[in-house]
C-alpha cells in the first residue's frame, strides 16, 4: 500500500458522501466532493508516475474507482432527474461491456496489458465534464448549446469507445496480439 493507492481508496470512500449530497440536493457540496475526487485521481497518477510507485493493485484499483465514481454520479443524477436516463443507461452499458470483457479474459486465462485507449480517455473527459456541468447547472445558468455539446460528446465517445473495446477484446480473445 503506497500513497497513490491510498489516494485512490480515499476517492472510493468519497463516493457515498457524494451520492448522499446529491440526494439531499446539496449540489455545491456535491460538486466540491466530486472535484476533490477528481483531484485525487490526478494526483495519485502523477505521484505514481513521478516516484515509480506504480503497482498492480493500483493498475486495477484506479480504473475501478473511476468507474464507481462516474457510475454513481450518473445513476444518482438520473434518479433525481438531472441527467437523462437514456444517457445513464448508455454509460452503464459500456461499463458492463468492459467488465464482461475482463471477466472473459480472466475465464480464458488471458492477461492483457491494462491501459486506457485515447477514446476511453476522451470518453472519461466528457463523462466528468457532463457530471460537472449538470451539478453546476443547479447554481448557474448553462446555455442550451453547452448542454447539447456535452450530451452529444458524451454520447458519441461512450459509443465509440465501447465499440473500440469490443473490437480489441475480440481480437485478444481470438488469439491475436494485444494492440
Consecutive 10-residue averages of pLDDT for the chain (179 residues): 90 96 96 92 86 81 90 96 96 92 83 78 91 90 90 96 90 71
Query: CA of 49: how far to CAs of 12, 42, 121, 125, in Å?
Result: 21, 11, 17, 20
pLDDT at 148: 92
Residue 128: inside a domain, yes or no? yes
Residue 145: inside a domain, yes or no? yes
The pTM of this model reads: 0.88
In terms of phi and psi (left: phi > 0; alpha: psi -120 to 50; beta: otherwise), the region of 83 is: beta
What is the number of domains present in the chain?
A: 1
pLDDT at 31: 95
Residue 150: inside a domain, yes or no? yes
- Largest Cα–Cα separation, the chain: 51
Residue 31: inside a domain, yes or no? yes
Residue 59: inside a domain, yes or no? yes
pLDDT at 152: 95
Please give the Cα distance from 24 to 117 (Å, whole number): 36
Residue 178: inside a domain, yes or no? no
CATH number of the domain where residue 126 is located: 1.20.120.1760
Domain extent, residue 136, equals 3-173
Amino acid at each position: 500500500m503506497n500513497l497513490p493507492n491510498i489516494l485512490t481508496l480515499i476517492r472510493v470512500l468519497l463516493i457515498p458522501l457524494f451520492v448522499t449530497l446529491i440526494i439531499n440536493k446539496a449540489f455545491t457540496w456535491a460538486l466540491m466532493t466530486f472535484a476533490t475526487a477528481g483531484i485525487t485521481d490526478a494526483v495519485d497518477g502523477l505521484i505514481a508516475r513521478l516516484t515509480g510507485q506504480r503497482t498492480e493493485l493500483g493498475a486495477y484499483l484506479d480504473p475501478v474507482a473511476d468507474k464507481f465514481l462516474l457510475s454513481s454520479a450518473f445513476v444518482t443524477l438520473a434518479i433525481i432527474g438531472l441527467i437523462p436516463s437514456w444517457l445513464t443507461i448508455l454509460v452503464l452499458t459500456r461499463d458492463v461491456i468492459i467488465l464482461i470483457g475482463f471477466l472473459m479474459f480472466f475465464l480464458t486465462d488471458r492477461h492483457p496489458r491494462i491501459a486506457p485507449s485515447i477514446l476511453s480517455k476522451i470518453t472519461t473527459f466528457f463523462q466528468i465534464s457532463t457530471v460537472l456541468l449538470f451539478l453546476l447547472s443547479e447554481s448557474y445558468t448553462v446555455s442550451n448549446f453547452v448542454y447539447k455539446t456535452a450530451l452529444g460528446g458524451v454520447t458519441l465517445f461512450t459509443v465509440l469507445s465501447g465499440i473500440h473495446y469490443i473490437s480489441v477484446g475480440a481480437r485478444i480473445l481470438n488469439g491475436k496480439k494485444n494492440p
